[in-house]
Structure 1
Amino acid sequence: MCAIEARLSELGLTLPEPAAPVASYVPAVEAGGLLHISGQLPFIGGKLVTGRLGEDVSLELGIEAAQACGVMILAQAKQALGSLDRVARVVKLGGFVNSTGAFTDQPKVVNGASDLMLAVFGDTGRHARSAVGVPVLPLGAAVEVDAILQVTA
């Protein structure tokens, strides 16, 4: 077992089967020492978390949904790289939160994914980030997160 997978086990996390793309794109592209992970949607208990923050999704569920996106990012990275030990650094996360115009806690929501990266990778999990409110996401998802990871050969 690789060190990162052992850490996931310590955290009580199991990686799901990576989600298949829902349109004309690939889940991950490795180029120039970076792995770009397409936006991942939140699946909890095999069910997509849908709805809008500030309307019918609580802040707590939004944070959990962002963490679920982070878990799916890790699953996609493992599939693309063969081992999560090839991740040298989490460079950037992009968080998109399906939210009302009055909802302003997007950064707190996306912390669900950011805090996961720190828990899994330690200091190499520290990253740049955006957290953006949007009026709608694919399939009605509450949150979507994409990632850029620095990888070793």
Structure 2
Amino acid sequence: MSNKIEARLAELGVTLPQAPAPAANYVPYVISGNLVYVSGQVSMDENGFITGKLGEDMAAEAGANAAKTCAIGLLAQVKAACDGDLDRLARVVKLTGFVNSTPAFGDQPKVVNGASDFLVEALGDIGRHSRSAVSAASLPFGVAVEIEGIFELK
């Protein structure tokens, strides 16, 4: 089993965490045909949840860093869906990013760029995807960002 994607992640200083278990009555991912639908991954790192409201107590750059952690969580779920062989990933198809933000904050795309830019940096062309970036009045646990994704497998 080759590990080209994980080798690239290591070059970037990223080690995927264990895929987190769902927090309620749902599954972390569903495989249908050659697509993997990954449930929303919230912004968190080794210290716990990354919380904040964009436009109130968090700037877009910090939000982009939070979004990157969501992308790392998405890849961890894809790895679990692929029985540990992340090189089965054919491409990132679509992301939907939810940004905990004030009504006046309009830089949701800049925030979700943290996930998009990371996926392209880590995966190259297979990381390019379609996307939505929307505002949310609040998110679970007060997190700054939540992102769900659709991925294609080889």
* TM-score interval for Structure 1 and Structure 2 normalised by the shorter chain: over 0.9
Q: d(CA) in 2 for partners of 1:54 and 1:45?
A: 25
**Letter of the aligned partner of 2:109 in structure 1?**
P
Aligned to 1:14: 15
Alpha-carbon displacement from aligned partner over 1:17-48 (angstroms, at most 9, x marks no partner)? 21111111110111121000000011123310
**Letter of the aligned partner of 1:43 in structure 2?**
M
Q: d(CA) in 2 for partners of 1:128 and 1:96?
A: 15
TM-score computed with the length of structure 2 as normaliser: 0.96
Give the drift of 1:84.
1.0
Listed as ranges, the gaps of 5+ residues in structure 1 are none
Give the drift of 1:58.
1.7
SS at match of 1:136: coil
Identity, % of aligned positions:
55
Is residue 134 from structure 1 mapped to residue 136 from structure 2 by the alignment? yes
Listed as ranges, the gaps of 5+ residues in structure 2 are none
**Letter of the aligned partner of 1:139 in structure 2?**
F
TM-score computed with the length of structure 1 as normaliser: 0.96
Q: d(CA) in 2 for partners of 1:121 and 1:104?
A: 28
**Letter of the aligned partner of 1:50 in structure 2?**
T
Alignment of 1:20-39 (within 5 A): 20-39=21-40
Query: What CA RMSD, in Å, does the superposition of the two structures yield over aligned residues?
Result: 0.9
Q: How many aligned residue pairs are there? A: 152
SS at match of 2:116: helix
Q: Structure 1: which 4+ aligned runs deviate by more than 3 Å?
A: none
**Letter of the aligned partner of 2:107 in structure 1?**
D
Aligned to 1:148: 150
Q: Which deviates further from its counterpart, 43-52 or 69-78?
A: 43-52
**Letter of the aligned partner of 2:93 in structure 1?**
V
Is residue 50 from structure 1 mapped to residue 51 from structure 2 by the alignment? yes
